[in-house]
Amino acid sequence: MKESLKNEQISLAEIRLIGANSEQLGIMSSAKALEIAKQQGLDLVLIAPEAKPPVCRVMDYGKHRFDELKKLKDQRKNQKIAKLKEMPLSMTIDDHDLEIKAKQVCKFLLDGSKVKVNIRMFGRLQGRPQVGIDIMNKFASLCASAGQIDKQPEVNGRNIFMFLAPLAKK
């Protein structure tokens, strides 16, 4: 959070002052505004330095700072961080095993995570990457209720990768 200028730190010739109860007090010098704030036992805080003239407010700076920090903390707490899960498959995977792994990936997708599905090709299987791509497409169709293909299956050396993303919530 960026620190606001307050009290004696403000040395502008002319400012627009807003009172403690959000009433407009007009345009005046910063010295006069500081005097008004001191009379009320509050702080003078610069809230809009880019405005013409800059806008200052009479307020309790400690309470204002506490409220801002609390608001930032709530925003961080409510923020959903997308995680990337990974699910390895095999070129020789059986249908039932594929269904079990698809069920697990559906849980990840429903929780809001992205999933990276990969197959590592060994030996003679490297000569038939289309078999792996077919397995990936079948896997994606099993997970279609919870997610969609974010990145199509792609052969990269000995590996085949595919990314699944959760369905957009309405």
Q: Can you give 30-84 as a three-state secondary structure string?
A: HHHHHHHHHHHCCEEEEEECCCCCCEEEEECHHHHHHHHHHHHHHHHHHCCCCCE
Q: Which domain holds residue 30?
A: 7-78
Better-scored residue on pLDDT, 120 or 7:
120
- Indicate whether 41 and 64 sit together in one domain: yes
pLDDT of residue 87: 92
36 pLDDT exceeds 90? no
Considering the domain architecture, whether residues 73 and 102 belong to the same structural domain is answered as: no
If asked whether residues 16 and 46 sit together in one domain, one would say: yes
In a domain, 95, yes or no: yes
Contact 133, 155 (CB under 8 A): yes
53 and 28 together in one domain: yes
- pLDDT (0 to 100) of residue 1: 52
The DSSP output letter for 49 is T
In a domain, 2, yes or no: no
Domain match, 102 and 64 both? no
Which residue, 44, 78, 112, sits at the end of a domain?
78
Is 128 found in the same domain as 94? Answer: yes
**First and final C-alpha spacing in the chain:** 33
One domain, residues 126 and 142: yes
Q: How confident is the model at residue 3 (pLDDT cuts 50, 70, 90)?
A: low
Query: Given a cut of 80, is residue 31 above it in pLDDT?
Result: yes
Among 28, 57, 78, the domain-final residue is 78
What CATH number should be reported for the domain holding residue 59? 3.10.20.80
Residues 114, 85: Cα–Cα separation, whole Å: 6
- Provide the domain count of the chain: 2
pLDDT digits (tens, 9 = 90+) for 86-143: 999 998 899 999 999 999 999 998 888 899 999 999 888 888 889 999 999 999 999 8
